[in-house]
Structure 1
């Protein structure tokens, strides 16, 4: 089975300024010096973590979806991250999974962050997404989903090899971020990637970054710490397969599925 090269962007975000954020990310993505399979951007990468959905939401045929399609085609890679989407009068914190041919899948954030009142603005998702891409099965989730292991669980009916979270996770809770990301990798015997932002938003929240890619044993493969930039690492399929063959914890899990 093939290896998978993953690139993730850790950056400051311009508050509620989609054009400025797309321009910043254009510069970051221009720094890709070698081919990659998957490019991951933070949660709400066009706006920061805003509850002003009515003013900021884009439709599915809006400028950011077009921008994602252009970058996916240019880099011959899937590009993913979440933005504010309006659809049929409802607002979603929606992750977009955009392929080089322009086709896409979506995942709407399941667990809305009640401490910020996210549930009063956005509609929660009901369905988890697992995508197969270049020989890897990948489950992309959003920020607060990290705290809920049942939703993140590597299930026999919908297995994955790489679990990823896009986030605006504040520095005040950075210990939870690093601890839970590592736990999700270990308990699911899967590689895990968390992509966070840095800087400060208009509400005064600081973001420490700590974006990282881990293997299925919980070992760090790539860490951004607090640095801006684009970070790339190749996941070795043979290493994951060998570890799973010799450590069959996924076969010993409890036989249950998450209900509605």
Structure 2
């Protein structure tokens, strides 16, 4: 069923370092406490472990415990849930986002741009495919953290409605996070939602959140600059997208190119 309004719930939280069981327990409590009706719940990048390069003991198979857990909660809350985890697939490790619906449909996106500054490219294999998810009449483009810095990869050549980033983006570069989320919304004439974590990780890096949602004009449609844990449900409007694209027609002048 197509929906003019898509209700999306951001969960900004601290993460227990390399402790999937503790993180699942924590997020299950937060998810079950979501009172407002929602269509999609968004968790941060590597939400079961934090952004660790210690992949072997923290990785799961593609159909592992966390995926089963997400299916159970999505069905219980009658909504989709998304976030990324560490996956081992054919002997290789991936930072992979799962998008799981109440009907237990599963779609995945594997992080394209591994974060070389932290050596992510030495541990995790980069994905190669951009993914567009059709959900309740909305076209959603999910991306992961460092992908935010690469506008060509995010360019709206598919007429998507929502650009979605899950992240572990540190405090020291939070200005870039704020600026680029807004820019991606404006240049793609799409809603852009970014969900980050808070707190210290096991490497001593601090995170201050700034999870946010922007409309197609770059206006904030979420509570601004929260730097602590929070859960917020936001209504996104398809009419807002259609009216502005029809009036402004900026996407008609976009460059044509092929990704290789």
Q: Which TM-score band applies after superposition, normalised by the shorter structure?
A: over 0.9
> Paired residue for 1:227?
228
> Paired residue for 1:100?
102
CA displacement at 1:236 relative to structure 2: 1.5
> Paired residue for 2:166?
166
- Partner SS, residue 99 of structure 2: strand
When the two chains are superposed, the root-mean-square deviation of aligned CA atoms in Å is: 0.9
TM-score in terms of structure 2 length: 0.97
Distance 1:246 1:17 in 2: 49
> Paired residue for 2:123?
121
CA displacement at 1:60 relative to structure 2: 1.4
Deviates more, 1:220-229 or 1:124-133: 220-229
The runs of at least 4 aligned residues of structure 1 exceeding 2 Å deviation read none
CA displacement at 1:61 relative to structure 2: 1.9
Q: Which of 3, 24, 41 is equivalent to 1:39?
A: 41
Distance 1:236 1:152 in 2: 21
Say whether the 8 Å CA contact 1:2–1:134 is kept in structure 2. Answer: no
CA displacement at 1:32 relative to structure 2: 0.9
> Paired residue for 2:52?
50
* Equivalent residues in 2 for 1:16-27, closer than 5 Å: 16-27=18-29
CA displacement at 1:31 relative to structure 2: 2.0
Distance 2:105 2:114 in 1: 27
Deviations 1:172-192 (A, max 9, x none): 000000000000000000000
Q: Which of 3, 7, 10 is equivalent to 2:9?
A: 7
Q: Which of 77, 81, 90 is equivalent to 1:79?
A: 81
Distance 2:53 2:131 in 1: 24
Say whether the 8 Å CA contact 2:36–2:233 is kept in structure 1. Answer: no
Say whether the 8 Å CA contact 2:79–2:101 is kept in structure 1. Answer: yes
Say whether the 8 Å CA contact 1:31–1:230 is kept in structure 2. Answer: no
- Where do 5+ consecutive residues of structure 1 fail to align? none
CA displacement at 1:257 relative to structure 2: 2.3
CA displacement at 1:34 relative to structure 2: 2.0
TM-score in terms of structure 1 length: 0.97
CA displacement at 1:218 relative to structure 2: 0.4
